[in-house]
Amino acid sequence: MIAVLSVIHLLVTIAMVGVILLQRSEGGGLGIGGGSGGGGMSGFMTGRGAANVLTRATAVLAALFIVSSLALTLLATGGRGRSIMDAPTQAPTTAPAAPQAPAAPAAPSAPVK
pTM of the predicted structure, to 2 decimals: 0.53
Split into its structural domains, the chain has a count of 1
Position 74 in a domain: yes
Q: Are 23 and 82 in contact (CB under 8 A)?
A: no
Confidence of residue 38 (pLDDT cuts 50, 70, 90): very low
Position 32 in a domain: no
Residue 52 lies in domain: 48-78
Position 111 in a domain: no
Q: What is the mean pLDDT of residues 21-39?
A: 61
Radius of gyration of the chain (CA): 32
Nearest alpha carbon to residue 68 among 21, 3, 108, 9: 9
Q: Are 12 and 64 in contact (CB under 8 A)?
A: yes
Q: What is the pLDDT of residue 28?
A: 55
